[in-house]
C-alpha cells in the first residue's frame, strides 16, 4: 500500500517549493515530484525595454543570487552587441562574483541547511569543555569553539529556549533519528551558525564595496562598471582584501572542518549517502583569476564517468514544458532553444485526493496532477538529457578536467573525511562539494585582486564604448557558473529594444519536472530510494532537497499574456493611482 | 518653545507606551536593564551607542535615547510574522544584513520571529502549524510584515501549503489579528517588479488585498535600517508613524535622495558625468545626465547608505533608479537616461508615450522632471561659460 507525502512549504530556501513523494509500506520513496508554486513572469517584463535595463530587471529574478542575474543580463547584452569590457571591469566583476559565491555557500550551509544536520536541542546537553577538545580533531585552529565561547553560546541559546518563545527554531525535527552529531559536535556547529550571521554581513559588504549594495548591487553597466572611484581607491581595495581574509578564515576554520566532521558522522546514514540517481553533470568555467585564467572549469560529465569530459555545445541547451504549466504554440518542437523560447502559461491546477496528514493519518488534500502538468518550472535538457548543475557538477567537472585547484581540495576532503570518491555522488557529497568550491575560492581568490592591482598600474579603463543601432538585429547570451550552478541568459534585440529574453537558471535544471520521455530531473531522482524514518517528520526529504540550495523564484518563467500586444502600452488607472 | 512642548508630549507618550508594553506577558522576569544586557552578552556601552544611532535615525531628540534603549530591551515581547509572496527574497536578505542591532540579537533578544520561511527550522505541516499557532496565540498583538507582490485574479499564480491555499488568502488571514502591518519592499508596497508592464501575473500591492492601514517600506530592497527602524518605531509609539501620500514613514522617506546627495555640489556647479567611464566619472561628478533619478526619489539612502554604511548606488557611480517610488520600473526607465530628456515610456520605443500623462502622479513627476532638467541645463551652461 503506497502513501503520498506532501511537504509544502519547503522552507529555508528562496521562493516557493512543494515536494510530493510516494512511499511503499516500508516508507521507502518510490517516486518523487518537484513543483514550484509561484509564477512571476520577469522575462516577459524585460521584453520591449531598453537593453541597458535588462540587467537591472533580470537581477530582480532573485535577491539571493542577486549579483548573478545582474551580471548575466548585462553580459548577454554585451555579447549581443559584440562588446568586450576592459580588463579592469572584468576583474572587478569577478571580485564581486567571488564575494557572492563565498557569501552564498556559507549562508547556505549554516542558515539554510545547517539545521538539517545540527540538532539544537542536543547541543544544549553538550559538555563545552569536551566540545572544545573535539573541535581540535578537525582543525588545528578552531574558530569560536573554545570552552568559554561554547559555554556562552550554550547559555545564550538555553536562556532563549527557557523563555518559551523559540522563534525560528520552533517545531523543527529535533530529536530525529537521522541526526548523527554528538551533543558536542552539535554545539560546535551551533556556535558556527551564530558566528556566520556576522560573517555573512562582512561577505555582503565585499560585494557592496564595488557594487553599492547587496542584495541588488548597482554598479554594472553595459560595457563595464561604474564604481570607478572605489576601484581607484587603495583603501577600498584594502577593505575588500581584509573582509575577504575574514571570510576565507571562516571557510578554513569553521566551514571546512564542519564538513569533514559531517562526512565522518554521517558516513553510514543511508538517506544522505545513497547515490543521487542522476549522474549527468554540466558546469561552466568562471571566476577570472587573471587575464585569461579561470578558477572553475567547463564541461559535461555523463553517467558519473570522470574519465571522459565533453565540451559544452550551447546549441544543445533546450527547455520543454510537457509537465510544466505552460504550452508551446505555433511549433511542433517539444523542446525549444532559449533564443526562440516561449512561455505561455497554461495552469491546470491540483487534483483532489488523499495524502498523509500532519498526524500520519490519511486526509483529503490537494495533490499534484502527476499525469499532467504540475510545476511552474520548465525542464531544461542538454542534448535531450536531464543534467545536474551546481557546486557538485563544478567539482565533478573539475575532477574530470584535472583542474588543479578543485582536484587538490576535493582529494584532501576525501582523505580528511575518510569517504570514497563515490560518496561525492550523494546528498552528503553535494553539500561537501559546495564547501570544496568555497575553499577553492577562499584559497585562490586574492589572485583576482592582485591581477586588478597590477593592471591598474598601467590601465585606467573601466568602460567600453558602444552604440545600439536601431536598424540592426542582435542576439547574444551569457553562460557562466554562479553559486547554484550553470546559468545562462539569452537575449535578442530588435528596433533598439529587447525582442526576446530567456533565463535558463540552475534551479530550473535541478528542480524541473519530468519531460515527455518521463525522464526525471535531479531533485526527483535524488529522492527515490530514500527511506523516511517518520512520515510525519520527513527530515530526509528536506535535507536532500536543501543540499541543492533551492532558489525557486529564479526558475519561474515567463508568459506572453494573450491580449497584451507588445506594440501597445497601456497603464491601468488602478495602478497609476497607487 | 513650542518644539520643546511637543517633544515633552511625545516623550510622555512613548514612556506610557513602554509602560504598557512591559506589562504584556513578559518572557523575562528580570526587569533590570543591565542584568538583561549582560545576560544576553551585550556590552552596555555598545548597546547605548546603538540606541543613540537608532534615535537619530528616527529623527528624535537625543533625550529620547534612554527610551530607545528601553524599547529595544522589551521589544522581544513583540511577535513578528513575516510572509513571502511573489518576491525574490531580497528584502529578507537585506534584513539579515542588519548590524546594529545584529540579526542574531534581533531574533534572540528583541523580537519573537514566529514565522519567517527563509530562516525557520520547520517545513511543511510543521511550518503551517507555526503560522496558525502564532496568529491564534498573539491575536491583536503581532506585527505582520509582508514581502512580495500578491497575484490577484489568477491567484493560483501563488499557492502555499498542502491544501494549496493562495498567497492572497494567507495575507488576509494573517492581517486580521495584526496590531500593525508593514509592506516590506517595493513589491508589497506597490506591486514591484512583477507588476511592471505588462504585469503578467497581475501582481498587486498588499494594500489592494486587505482593508487595513498599511505602512509601506519600499525600496528594492529597503535598507536594513529602514526595515529594523520600523519595528522599533512601532515598539516605541504603539502607533503607526507619520506617513506621506504613499504611506511611507516620513522619518525614512521624508527627503529626496537629491537633497542630501554627496554629489549635489557637482550638480549645482554644472559638473556632470557625460557617459560611464569618462574622466568626469573618475572625478565623481553628478550622475544626472546618465540617468540618476535622485531628484525624484524619496528615501534616506544618501544619509544612511546600505550594508552598514558601506556604499550606495550614487557612491558606486551608477545613479539612483528610483526604486522606492511607485511604478518606478515603468516611470523611471530607461534607467541610464535622464527623465528630463525624454517623454515617458520610451522604454517601449516611444510608443504611446503620452498615454500616461493624464495620471496625477506622473504629471507631478513630469513637472519635477522639467524643473530639474532646466536647472541641470542652466547650471551646465553657466559652467561652460566659466570655462570659456
Which helix (H) or strand (E) element contains residue B151?
strand B150-151
Instruction: Give me the residues paired with residue A551 across strands.
Output: A14
Locate the chain A residue with the closest alpha carbon to B326.
Answer: A578
A507 catalytic residue (yes or no):
yes
Unique residue bearing C-alpha cell 554629489: B263
Model pLDDT, residue B192: 97
Question: Which residues does B197 contact at the CB level (< 8 Å), separation at least 6?
Answer: A45, A569, A571, B329, B330, B348
Q: Do B316 and A224 count as a contact with CB atoms less than 8 A apart?
A: no
- pLDDT for B240 beyond 60: yes
Going by C-alpha positions, the residue among A402, A394, A400 that lies closest to residue A439 is A394
CA torsion A505→A511→A514→A515, rounded to 10°?
Answer: 0
pLDDT bracket for residue A564 (50, 70, 90): very low
Smallest Cα distance from A148 to chain B, Å: 12
- Rounded distance, CA A416 to CA A411, Å? 9
| Mean pLDDT value across residues A192-202 | 97
Q: Do A567 and B351 count as a contact with CB atoms less than 8 A apart?
A: yes
- Rounded distance, CA B162 to CA B173, Å? 17
**A228 neighbourhood in chain B, CB within 8 Å:** 277, 281-282, 317
Model pLDDT, residue B106: 85
Phi then psi for residue B98, to 5 deg, are -60, 135
- Rounded distance, CA B240 to CA B290, Å? 38
DSSP string, A371-400: SS--BSB-EEEETTB--B-SHHHHHHHHHH
Smallest Cα distance from B315 to chain A, Å: 7
Q: Do B160 and A10 count as a contact with CB atoms less than 8 A apart?
A: no
> Cα dist. A64→A215, A217, A378 in Å?
7, 11, 20
Instruction: Say if B243 is an interface residue toward chain A (CB within 8 Å).
Output: no
CB B322 within 8 A of CB B297: yes
**B284 neighbourhood in chain A, CB within 8 Å:** 229
Q: Do A213 and B307 count as a contact with CB atoms less than 8 A apart?
A: yes
CB A20 within 8 A of CB A535: no
**Taken in order B268, B269, B274, B277, is the CA torsion positive or negative?**
negative
A341-346 CB contacts, 8 Å cutoff, 24+ apart = A341/A490, A341/A500, A341/A502, A342/A560, A343/A43, A343/A44, A343/A378, A343/A557, A343/A558, A343/A559, A343/A560, A344/A559, A344/A560, A344/A562, A345/A39, A345/A559, A345/B200, A346/A373
Locate the chain A residue with the closest alpha carbon to B42.
Answer: A156
| Residue A301 in grid coordinates | 560529465
**What is the separation, in whole angstroms, between the first and last Cα of chain B?**
52
Model pLDDT, residue B381: 59
List, for residues B285-315, the tens digit of each pLDDT value. 999 999 999 999 999 999 999 999 999 999 9
pTM over the 0.95 mark: no
A557 catalytic residue (yes or no):
no
Is the ipTM above a cut-off of 0.85?
A: yes
**Taken in order A94, B277, B325, A56, is the CA torsion positive or negative?**
negative
- Rounded distance, CA B5 to CA B12, Å? 11
DSSP string, A452-515: HHHHHTT----B------TT--EEEEEEEEETTEEEEEEEEEETTEEEEEEEE-HHHHHH----
- Chain A, window 349-408: residues with a beta carbon less than 8 angstroms from a chain B beta carbon: 349-350, 355, 357-358, 365-366
Smallest Cα distance from B179 to chain A, Å: 18
Smallest Cα distance from A576 to chain B, Å: 6
List, for residues B113-145, the tens digit of each pLDDT value. 999 999 999 999 999 999 999 999 999 889 999
Q: Do B162 and A365 count as a contact with CB atoms less than 8 A apart?
A: yes
- Chain A, window 485-544: residues with a beta carbon less than 8 angstroms from a chain B beta carbon: 495-497, 536-538, 542
- Rounded distance, CA A193 to CA A346, Å? 42
| Mean pLDDT value across residues A261-266 | 98
Q: Which of A65, A118, A276, A435 is catalytic?
A: A65
Q: Which of A60, A430, A554, A555 is catalytic?
A: A554
A93 catalytic residue (yes or no):
no
Instruction: Based on DSSP, count helices (H) and strands (E) in chain A, helices before strands.
Output: 22, 19
Mean pLDDT of chain B: 81
- Rounded distance, CA A416 to CA A423, Å? 13
Beta pairing class for B159-160 and B111-115: unpaired
List, for residues A355-399, the tens digit of each pLDDT value. 999 999 999 999 999 999 999 999 999 999 999 999 999 999 999
CA torsion A426→A429→A433→A434, rounded to 10°?
Answer: 80
| Residue B295 in grid coordinates | 531628484
CB A20 within 8 A of CB A37: no
Lowest mean pLDDT among A95-99, A343-347, A535-539: A343-347
CB B158 within 8 A of CB B85: yes
User: Does residue A215 have a cis bond before it (omega within 30 degrees)?
Assistant: yes
Instruction: Give me the residues paired with residue B112 across strands.
Output: B79
Model pLDDT, residue B387: 47
Q: Do B123 and A9 count as a contact with CB atoms less than 8 A apart?
A: yes
Query: Any alpha helices (H) in A251-372, and if so which ranges?
Result: 256-265, 270-273
In the DSSP assignment, the letter for residue A108 is I
- pLDDT for A432 beyond 90: yes
Q: Do B119 and A564 count as a contact with CB atoms less than 8 A apart?
A: no
- Rounded distance, CA A502 to CA A59, Å? 13
Going by C-alpha positions, the residue among A40, A461, A184, A75 that lies closest to residue B278 is A461
A118 catalytic residue (yes or no):
no
Q: Do A156 and B40 count as a contact with CB atoms less than 8 A apart?
A: yes
CB B356 within 8 A of CB B364: no
Instruction: Give the number of A-B residue pairs with CB atoms closer than 8 Å.
Output: 362
- Rounded distance, CA B281 to CA A226, Å? 8
- pLDDT for A428 beyond 90: yes
Model pLDDT, residue A343: 76
- Rounded distance, CA B217 to CA B207, Å? 12
- Chain B, window 140-199: residues with a beta carbon less than 8 angstroms from a chain A beta carbon: 151, 154, 156-164, 190-199
A435 catalytic residue (yes or no):
no
CB B217 within 8 A of CB B185: yes
Model pLDDT, residue A576: 29
Q: How many CA atoms lie within 13 A of B144 on its CB side?
A: 30
CB B373 within 8 A of CB B339: yes
| Mean pLDDT value across residues A126-151 | 98
Q: Do A347 and B107 count as a contact with CB atoms less than 8 A apart?
A: no
List, for residues B57-67, the tens digit of each pLDDT value. 666 667 777 76
Model pLDDT, residue B364: 47
- pLDDT for B358 beyond 50: no
Question: Residue A304: exposed, middle, or buried by beta-carbon count in 10 A (0-12, 13-18, 19+)?
Answer: middle
Orientation angle between helical segments B224-237 and B44-57, nearest 10 degrees: 90
Model pLDDT, residue B344: 42
Q: Which of B102, B333, B352 sits opposite A53 (nearest CB)?
A: B333
CB B179 within 8 A of CB B111: no
Q: Do B160 and A8 count as a contact with CB atoms less than 8 A apart?
A: yes
- pLDDT for A578 beyond 90: no
- Rounded distance, CA A153 to CA A144, Å? 9
**B216 neighbourhood in chain A, CB within 8 Å:** none
Classified as helix, coil or strand, A114 is helix
A62 catalytic residue (yes or no):
yes
DSSP string, B199-217: -TT-EE-GGGT--S--EEE
Q: Which of A182, A191, A417, A507 is catalytic?
A: A507
Question: Residue B94: exposed, middle, or buried by beta-carbon count in 10 A (0-12, 13-18, 19+)?
Answer: buried
- pLDDT for A568 beyond 50: no
- Chain B, window 336-375: residues with a beta carbon less than 8 angstroms from a chain A beta carbon: 336-337, 345-349, 351-352, 355-356, 359-362
| Mean pLDDT value across residues A252-260 | 98
List, for residues A27-68, the tens digit of each pLDDT value. 999 999 999 999 998 989 999 999 999 999 999 999 999 999
- pLDDT for B341 beyond 80: no
A484 catalytic residue (yes or no):
yes
Going by C-alpha positions, the residue among A493, A561, A204 that lies closest to residue B200 is A561
Q: Which residue, among B225, B276, B287, B319, would best test binding to A if mutated, counting the most A CBs under 10 Å from its CB? A: B276
Smallest Cα distance from A61 to chain B, Å: 6
| Residue A58 in grid coordinates | 533580470
A551 catalytic residue (yes or no):
yes
Q: Which residue, among A5, A7, A8, would best test binding to B if mutated, counting the most B CBs under 10 Å from its CB? A: A8
Question: Residue B25: exposed, middle, or buried by beta-carbon count in 10 A (0-12, 13-18, 19+)?
Answer: exposed
Question: Residue A249: exposed, middle, or buried by beta-carbon count in 10 A (0-12, 13-18, 19+)?
Answer: middle
**A198 neighbourhood in chain B, CB within 8 Å:** 102, 104
CB A535 within 8 A of CB A413: no
Locate the chain B residue with the closest alpha carbon to A50.
Answer: B347
**B107 neighbourhood in chain A, CB within 8 Å:** 167-168
Lowest mean pLDDT among A179-188, A313-322, A336-345, B178-187: A336-345
Amino acid at each position: 500500500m503506497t502513501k503520498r507525502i506532501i511537504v509544502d512549504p519547503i522552507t529555508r530556501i528562496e521562493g516557493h517549493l512543494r515536494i510530493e513523494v510516494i512511499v511503499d509500506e516500508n516508507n521507502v520513496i518510490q517516486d518523487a515530484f518537484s513543483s514550484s508554486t509561484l509564477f512571476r513572469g520577469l522575462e516577459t517584463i524585460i521584453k520591449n525595454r531598453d537593453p541597458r535595463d535588462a540587467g537591472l530587471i533580470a537581477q530582480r529574478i532573485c535577491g539571493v543570487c542577486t549579483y548573478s542575474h545582474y551580471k548575466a543580463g548585462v553580459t548577454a547584452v554585451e555579447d549581443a552587441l559584440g562588446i568586450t569590457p576592459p580588463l579592469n571591469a572584468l576583474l572587478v566583476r569577478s571580485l564581486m562574483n567571488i564575494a557572492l559565491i563565498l557569501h552564498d555557500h556559507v549562508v547556505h550551509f549554516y542558515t539554510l541547511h545547517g539545521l538539517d544536520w545540527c540538532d539544537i536541542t542536543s547541543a544544549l546537553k553538550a559538555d563545552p569543555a569536551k566540545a572544545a577538545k573535539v573541535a581540535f580533531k578537525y582543525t588545528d585552529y578552531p574558530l569560536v569553539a573554545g570552552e568559554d565561547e561554547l559555554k556562552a553560546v550554550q547559555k545564550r541559546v538555553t536562556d532563549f529556549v527557557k523563555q518559551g518563545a523559540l522563534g525560528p527554531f520552533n517545531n523543527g525535527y529535533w530529536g530525529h533519528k537521522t541526526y548523527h552529531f554528538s551533543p558536542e559536535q552539535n554545539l560546535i556547529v551551533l556556535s558556527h551558525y551564530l558566528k556566520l550571521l556576522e560573517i555573512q554581513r562582512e561577505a555582503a559588504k565585499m560585494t557592496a564595496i564595488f557594487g553599492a549594495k547587496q542584495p541588488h548591487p548597482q554598479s554594472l553597466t553595459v560595457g563595464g562598471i561604474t564604481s570607478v572611484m572605489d576601484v581607484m581607491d587603495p583603501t577600498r581595495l584594502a577593505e575588500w582584501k581584509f573582509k575577504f581574509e575574514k571570510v576565507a578564515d571562516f571557510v578554513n576554520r569553521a566551514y571546512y572542518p564542519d564538513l569533514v566532521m559531517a562526512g565522518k558522522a554521517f558516513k553510514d546514514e543511508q538517506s544522505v549517502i545513497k547515490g543521487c540517481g542522476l549522474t549527468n553533470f554540466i558546469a561552466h568555467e568562471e571566476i577570472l583569476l587573471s587575464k585569461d585564467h579561470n578558477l572553475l572549469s567547463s564541461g559535461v560529465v555523463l553517467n558519473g564517468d570522470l574519465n571522459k569530459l565533453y565540451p559544452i555545445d550551447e546549441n544543445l541547451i533546450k527547455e520543454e514544458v510537457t509537465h510544466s504549466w505552460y504550452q508551446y504554440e505555433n511549433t511542433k518542437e517539444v523542446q525549444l532553444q532559449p533564443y526562440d523560447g516561449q512561455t505561455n502559461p497554461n495552469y491546470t491546477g491540483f487534483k483532489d485526493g488523499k495524502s498523509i496528514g500532519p498526524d500520519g493519518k490519511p486526509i483529503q488534500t490537494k495533490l499534484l496532477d502527476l499525469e499532467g502538468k504540475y510545476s511552474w518550472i520548465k525542464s531544461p535538457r542538454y542534448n535531450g538529457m536531464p543534467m545536474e548543475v551546481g557546486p557538485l557538477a563544478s567539482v565533478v567537472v573539475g575532477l574530470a578536467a584535472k583542474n588543479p585547484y578543485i582536484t587538490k581540495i576535493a582529494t584532501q576532503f576525501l582523505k580528511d573525511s575518510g569517504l570514497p570518491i563515490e560518496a561525492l555522488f550523494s546528498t552528503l557529497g553535494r553539500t561537501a562539494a559546495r564547501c570544496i568550491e568555497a575553499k577553492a575560492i577562499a584559497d585562490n581568490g586574492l589572485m583576482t585582486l592582485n591581477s586588478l592591482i597590477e593592471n591598474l598600474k598601467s590601465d585606467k579603463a573601466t568602460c567600453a564604448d558602444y552604440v545600439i543601432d536601431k536598424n540592426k538585429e542582435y542576439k547574444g547570451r551569457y553562460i557562466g557558473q554562479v553559486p547554484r550552478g550553470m546559468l545562462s541568459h539569452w537575449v535578442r534585440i530588435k528596433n533598439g529594444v529587447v525582442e526576446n529574453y530567456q533565463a535558463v537558471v540552475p534551479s530550473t535544471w535541478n528542480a524541473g519536472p519530468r519531460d515527455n520521455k518521463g525522464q526525471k530531473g535531479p531533485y526527483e531522482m535524488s529522492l527515490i530510494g530514500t527511506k523516511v524514518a517518520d512520515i510525519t517528520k520527513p527530515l530526509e526529504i528536506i535535507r536532500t532537497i536543501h543540499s541543492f540550495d533551492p532558489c525557486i523564484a529564479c526558475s519561474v518563467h515567463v508568459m506572453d499574456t494573450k491580449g497584451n500586444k507588445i506594440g501597445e502600452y497601456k497603464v491601468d488607472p488602478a495602478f497609476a493611482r497607487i | 518653545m513650542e518644539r520643546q512642548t511637543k517633544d515633552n508630549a511625545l516623550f510622555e507618550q512613548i514612556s506610557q507606551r513602554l509602560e504598557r508594553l512591559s506589562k504584556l506577558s513578559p518572557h523575562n522576569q528580570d526587569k533590570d536593564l543591565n542584568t538583561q544586557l549582560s545576560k544576553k552578552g551585550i556590552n552596555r556601552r555598545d548597546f547605548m551607542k546603538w540606541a543613540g544611532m537608532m534615535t537619530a535615525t528616527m529623527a528624535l531628540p537625543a533625550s529620547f535615547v534612554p527610551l530607545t534603549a528601553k524599547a529595544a530591551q522589551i521589544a522581544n515581547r513583540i511577535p513578528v510574522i513575516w510572509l513571502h509572496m511573489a518576491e525574490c527574497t531580497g528584502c529578507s536578505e537585506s534584513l539579515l544584513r542588519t548590524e546594529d542591532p545584529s540579526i542574531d540579537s534581533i531574533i534572540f533578544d528583541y523580537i519573537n520571529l514566529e514565522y519567517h520561511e527563509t530562516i525557520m527550522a520547520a517545513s511543511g505541516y510543521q511550518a503551517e502549524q507555526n503560522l496558525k499557532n502564532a496568529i491564534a496565540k498573539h491575536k491583536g498583538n503581532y506585527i505582520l510584515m509582508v514581502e512580495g507582490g500578491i497575484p490577484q485574479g489568477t491567484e493560483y499564480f501563488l499557492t502555499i501549503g498542502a491544501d494549496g491555499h493562495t498567497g492572497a488568502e494567507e495575507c488576509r488571514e494573517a492581517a486580521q489579528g495584526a496590531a500593525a502591518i508593514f509592506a516590506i519592499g517595493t513589491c508589497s508596497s506597490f506591486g514591484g517588479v512583477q507588476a511592471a508592464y505588462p504585469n503578467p501575473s497581475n501582481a498587486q500591492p498588499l494594500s489592494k488585498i486587505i482593508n487595513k492601514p498599511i505602512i509601506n517600506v519600499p525600496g528594492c530592497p529597503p535598507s536594513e535600517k529602514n526595515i529594523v527602524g520600523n519595528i522599533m518605531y512601532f515598539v516605541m509609539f504603539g502607533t503607526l508613524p507619520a506617513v506621506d501620500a504613499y504611506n511611507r514613514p516620513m522619518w525614512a522617506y521624508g527627503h529626496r535622495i537629491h537633497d542630501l546627495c554627496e554629489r549635489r555640489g557637482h550638480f549645482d556647479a554644472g559638473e556632470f558625468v557625460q557617459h560611464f567611464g569618462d574622466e568626469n566619472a573618475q572625478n565623481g561628478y553628478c550622475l544626472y545626465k546618465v540617468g540618476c533619478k535622485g531628484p525624484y526619489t524619496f528615501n534616506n539612502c544618501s544619509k544612511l547608505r546600505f550594508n552598514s554604511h558601506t556604499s550606495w548606488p550614487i557612491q558606486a557611480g551608477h545613479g539612483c533608479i528610483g526604486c522606492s517610488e511607485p511604478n518606478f520600473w515603468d516611470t523611471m526607465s530607461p534607467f541610464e537616461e535622464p527623465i528630463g530628456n525624454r517623454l515617458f515610456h520610451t522604454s517601449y520605443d516611444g510608443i504611446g508615450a503620452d498615454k500616461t500623462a493624464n495620471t496625477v502622479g506622473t504629471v507631478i513627476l513630469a513637472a519635477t522632471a522639467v524643473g530639474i532638467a532646466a536647472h541641470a541645463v542652466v547650471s551646465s551652461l553657466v559652467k561652460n561659460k566659466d570655462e570659456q
